[in-house]
Structure formats: structure tokens, C-alpha cells
Structure 1
Amino acid sequence: MSTTTAPEREAAAPPPAGLRPDWRALTTHPTAGPLAALVVACLFFTLQNDQFLSGGNLSLVVQQVMVVGTLALGQTLIILTAGIDLSCGAVMAFGTIVMAKLAADGTLPPYAAIAAGIGVCALFGLANGALVTYIKLPPFIVTLGMLNIAFALTHIYSAEQTITDLPGPLTALGQTFPLGRTDITYGSVLTIVLFLVLAYALSQTAWGKHTYALGNSPDVARLTGIRTTRLRLGIYTLAGLIYGIAALLLVSRTGVGDPKAGQTDNLDAITAVVIGGTSLFGGRGVVIGTLVGALLVGVFRNGLQLMGVGSIYQTLITGGLVILAVTVDQFSRRKASR
């Protein structure tokens, strides 16, 4: 016979389900882990260096994130379809040179030069999509080849020269406005708007649902009536267009057309997407997670730099974060399939 009293039994009983914290939902949500890691990283670097939370430093982090984050936004769309784009950084770099050179030489008016640079990036996306969709080449191989092509064209077209004296429209997004004690660039606002628009499109429109379906199973998506060929081609083209916007943001941030700038940002973009919870196997992830991932990468690089950690060790730590994120994704997929 039990000797516990009624008050003791009530105290030992678990709280009602509605009052218990849903830890399982928290850990399985793709954005929860990266968001928690971002908070912990900010707290850690704040304790390590008093300058981390200063307005000037936070503004620098945001400016760094706006380029990689926009690049990662296009990368997210492709990874959601179980593809990958290794060429995004090189394509963006070529876009910067096209718009900067056309504008600086007076070949085109500034706004037309911007449109040409963005259009060239969209054409690269279209070419990637056509090769993947119609010829059935693996995205890894296609975009690896495009990376080399874009890299070579960047250096050929620029003649290895940095392009300066750019007209105002090309650098306008690099201008800042005060927000409290922090200066925010107009380009950062554009990046946030792009993320919000894509977040809405993926979660609230038929196009978004079709994109997730394509990533989960192309065959099933096709059998349900989704035009998978046209959808995939459109996604790659849209990703290229977003790379073009990232090219404009890069020019506006640096104030020049540098053929060496952004060439390796493809790695940071893929890192942001994976850390943000988007699965490399496709069909799972949200673009807001990509934004959190980009912020996490930016915070880590900035915080480690303030601590005096060399850039090579920053790369080492970032690589470890990628492996950790993919490992967590793999385990979560295995658990979900049981």
C-alpha cells in the first residue's frame, strides 16, 4: 500500500502537457539550434571583448553579413531542391566587374550597368539550371565548371585591374542611416526585405510548396502534376538573379570593382545555409534559418578577430561548424525516418 499523501502525489506528478516546455519541438525545429548558438556566441564574445557590442562593431558585422547573407539566400533555394551551387561566389564577382566596368567606362548609364551585371548573373543561373535539368548533369559538376568559367571571365574582363571612380548609384546601398547608436546601411535593409519576401513565398504560396516537394522527391512531385523541369530551371535562374543583387551589395560596400573580392564567398554562403538548418538532402529548411546562419558566421569571424585569433583558425572553426551542422541534420533525418 502506498504511504504517500495526496499533496505529495500532486507535487511529484508531472505538470499538465499544456504547461510543460516542449523541448522535443525546440530541438527538432531547424532554426532553434542555430538561433541558440547565435545567442550563446554573442554572450561569449561580449564577455571576451568590450568592443563586441559597440554600435560600430555591430554595424560592421551587419555589413559583412549583407553580402554573404544575400548570396546564401539564392543558395538556399537550390539546396532546398537537393542541389548545390559552387559557382555562386565567382558568379557574383563577375557581376560586380560587369556593372562596375560598364558604368566606370561610360559604356552604359549607371542603372543600365547595374541591370546588365544582375542580368549576367541571372544568365549564369539559367545556364546552370539548363544543364542540370535538361542534360541531367549533377549540380556539383555543373556548378564546379561554372565556377571556373566565371572566375576566368572575371579576371579576363577586368584585366586584373581594380575598377575605381564608380558613379553614385553603384555605391548608394553602401550609405548609412542612424538607428539608435548604430549606423545601418541601406543594403542591409534590402537584404532583410529579400529574406522576408522569400520567406513568405516559400511558406505561403504554391510555388514554395512545389519547391519543397521537388526537394523531397522529384518523381512524386512530377506525378502530382508539378512541372518539375520548369520549376527547377526557374529556381536556378532566380538564384542567379539574387547573386546579381549580392554583386551590387558588394560593390556598394567596397566602393570599387575588385576582381578578387567575393571569389571564396561561396564557401561562407554554403556554410550559412547548412548551419541555418537547411538540409543538404533537400526539402527541409527555412530562409530565416539561413539569415541566422549568416549572422552566426559573421559573429564568429568578427568575435574571433577581436580576440586576436588568426584568419586561418577562423576558417578551421567555421569548417568544424559545417561538419557539426551536417551531422546534426543527418541524425535528425534518421530519427524522423524511424
Structure 2
Amino acid sequence: MSLKEKLPPLSQLGPFIALAVACVVFGVTTDNFFTAANFALILQQVMVVGVIAIGQTLIILTAGIDLSCGMVMALGSIIMTKFAADFGLPPSLAILCGIAVTTLFGLVNGLLVTRIKLPPFIVTLGTFNIAFAITQLYSSAQTVTNVPESMLWLGNTFSVGESQIAYGVVLMVALYLAAWYWLRDTASGRHVYAVGNNPEATRLVGIPTDRVLLSVYVLAGLFYGIASLLTVARTGVGDPNGGQTENLDAITAVVLGGTSLFGGRGVILGTLAGAIVVGVLRNGLTLMGVSSVYQVLITGILVILAVAVDQLSRKGAR
């Protein structure tokens, strides 16, 4: 077997190559990029989107998409903080209520996709607006403060050498490793790939495709709930105006991470690399003094390039 055959496909290596190139470019062009404190900051900045992107990856692997993820996350954070700050519920119970709401939204999305056969794009566009409206109405468009200290624990840091690593970053990495193991080494995880690759053939071999799809959307809702807790821990408040761009950021991380929008192909650890690539780009461009408008422009170009590469590789494989 040649070296080329032993190496993983370019679609899997691409995110890590892009991450390395971006780090080298910004390390050469800026003074403070290659510091432990800066890398720790980048990881803290991407931990919320990184966890949302786990759920988004699962859905995209089944050839679906979830536009509601950011607003569902915001709703979960409002539920958690209001239940704890306004109603005096124990923080652990308030957190469970918030996660239950985001998981319920995942269940609703999954049922509409599997039972009524509605397109995921339309379903999640609708639930995006529903989650946004509920968040604004329930919070009266006001930020929730006086959040119990115990709900902010994941935003605390511990020392590793000269850097301060947030506990939320550790949780994010642990969730990625768990999802990677599940998708790679379990039958139910491999069923996700099978459904995304060819749902009809998967159904014909006896795999309950609707049940797989439903479980994927429910799991995604669970991850959005965990991301709700992380955003509360990071900001210290319940923000009803949060989550409005996280859906696009999560999709960007998934696409840059090498997961095919057509389903059936991708590695979850690539999504983590994709999320960090976005964080590195924004951090490096900020250090260079580049306007945030150009940061969005560059990110958009990268997404289009990543999808184009995926499309061309699919055509080349036929």
C-alpha cells in the first residue's frame, strides 16, 4: 500500500491543514498571536459555537440542516436563568429545565421531519422564528441578571502553565471525543452515516431510518441545551438577543470541518477544527486591526470554497 493510500482523504485533513496555515500566517504577521493566553482566549470564544456544532454535524451527516440551533440555545439560556434568578429554583433543576426545553425543540423538529416529511430547512426556519418569539416574550426582551454563581462554574478557569483554561473548554473537548467514539465505534453511530449516504438502501436492510433521524434531532437539541449553559457561564447573564448568528457560525464550522452538506461524509473532530479555524481567523484579523466586516466577508468566502470543494470531490468520485 502506497503512502497516498495510507493517508486520510483530503476532506478529512483539510480542516487541520487550514488551521495550521492560519496559525502560521497570523503568527508571522502579528506579535501576540503565539501566546498561551491568546490560544486560551480563542478556545473560550469558540466553546459555545463548538458545542452547538456537534449537534449541527449530526444533522448535516443525515443530509439535513438546522437553522434553529442558535435561537433554541438562547431560549434554553433564558429558561435556565429566569427559573433560577426569578423563581428561586435550585440551579441544577433550572439547568435541567433549560436543557429539557431545547431537547423538546429537537424532538419537535425531528417529528416534523420524520412523520410529516417536511424539509429540514423549512422546519427549522419555522422553529427558529418560534424560539425567537418565545425568548423575546418570556424575557420581555430584558437581560436576566443575578444568575446564581454555581451556574457560572464552567466559565471559571484553571492554570495550565501560563494560560488560563476554562472548564467549559474541557467539557467541549470531552463532548467531541464522546461523539467521535459514538459515530466511529458503535452501530447506532454508523447508522447516522448510512442514513445520510443512502436512506432508501438503509431502510431496505432493516435499519429504522425514521428512528435514527429522530434520535439525531433529539441529540442535537440536547447539545444546544449544554451550549445554553456554556453561554450563561461565559457571559454571566441570560441574553434574549443572543443566538441570532450562532446558527450560521455552527454551519460554517461544520462545512469548514469537512462534513458534506449532502450527508453521509464527515468526521466530528473536523468540526472542532473548523470551529477553531473560525476562531483563529477572527482573532488573528482582530490583532491585525482588520474591521469585523472584512472578517465576515472572509468567512463567507471560505464557506463557499469549502462547499465547492465538497461538490467537486463528489463529482470526481462518481
Q: Which residue of 2 aligns with 1:267?
A: 248
Structure 2 residue aligned with 1:244, among 212, 219, 225? 225
- Which deviations, in whole Å up to 9, do the C-alpha atoms of 1:231-250 show, x marking residues without a partner? 11111000000000001001
Matched, 1:89 2:70: yes
Shift in CA distance, 25/307, structure 1 to aligned 2, threshold 3 Å: farther
Matched, 1:332 2:309: no
- Which deviations, in whole Å up to 9, do the C-alpha atoms of 1:128-181 show, x marking residues without a partner? 000000000000000000111111111111111111111122100000001111
The farther-off stretch of 42-51 and 134-143 is 42-51
Structure 2 residue aligned with 1:202, among 183, 207, 227? 183
Query: How do residues 29-44 of structure 1 correspond to structure 2 at under 5 angstroms?
Result: 29-44=10-25
Gaps (5+ residues) in structure 2? none
Shift of 1:27: 7.5
Query: How do residues 282-297 of structure 1 correspond to structure 2 at under 5 angstroms?
Result: 282-297=263-278
Taking structure 1 as the reference length, the TM-score comes to 0.92
Which letter maps to 1:323?
I
Distance 1:218 1:293 in 2: 27
- Which deviations, in whole Å up to 9, do the C-alpha atoms of 1:191-235 show, x marking residues without a partner? 000000000000000001111100011111110010111111111
Shift in CA distance, 139/326, structure 1 to aligned 2, threshold 3 Å: same
Q: Which residue of 1 aligns with 2:100?
A: 119
Distance 1:197 1:164 in 2: 33
Query: How do residues 8-19 of structure 1 correspond to structure 2 at under 5 angstroms?
Result: 18=2
Structure 1 residue aligned with 2:47, among 38, 63, 66? 66
Distance 1:47 1:256 in 2: 37
Distance 2:154 2:244 in 1: 21
Q: Which residue of 1 aligns with 2:212?
A: 231
Distance 1:149 1:307 in 2: 39
SS in 1 for 2:265: coil
Distance 2:35 2:57 in 1: 31
Query: How do residues 181-220 of structure 1 correspond to structure 2 at under 5 angstroms?
Result: 181-220=162-201
Distance 1:111 1:125 in 2: 21
Shift of 1:48: 1.3
SS in 1 for 2:11: coil
SS in 2 for 1:263: coil
| Equivalent residues of 1:59, 1:183 under 8 A apart | yes
Query: How do residues 143-154 of structure 1 correspond to structure 2 at under 5 angstroms?
Result: 143-154=124-135
- Which deviations, in whole Å up to 9, do the C-alpha atoms of 1:268-298 show, x marking residues without a partner? 1000000000000000001000000000000
Distance 1:299 1:27 in 2: 24
Shift of 1:31: 2.1
Q: Which residue of 1 aligns with 2:115?
A: 134
SS in 1 for 2:299: helix
Structure 2 residue aligned with 1:305, among 286, 296, 311? 286
Shift of 1:55: 2.4
Q: Which residue of 2 aligns with 1:11?
A: none
| Equivalent residues of 2:71, 2:242 under 8 A apart | no
Distance 1:211 1:30 in 2: 19
Matched, 1:176 2:157: yes
Which letter maps to 1:74?
G
Distance 2:146 2:305 in 1: 43
Which letter maps to 2:270?
G
Which letter maps to 2:58?
L
Shift of 1:25: 6.2
The farther-off stretch of 185-194 and 305-314 is 305-314
Which letter maps to 1:299?
V
Structure 2 residue aligned with 1:323, among 270, 286, 304? 304
Distance 2:163 2:18 in 1: 23
Shift of 1:26: 4.8
Report how many residues are paired: 318
Question: Based on CA coordinates, which of the two structures has the bigger radius of gyration?
Answer: 1
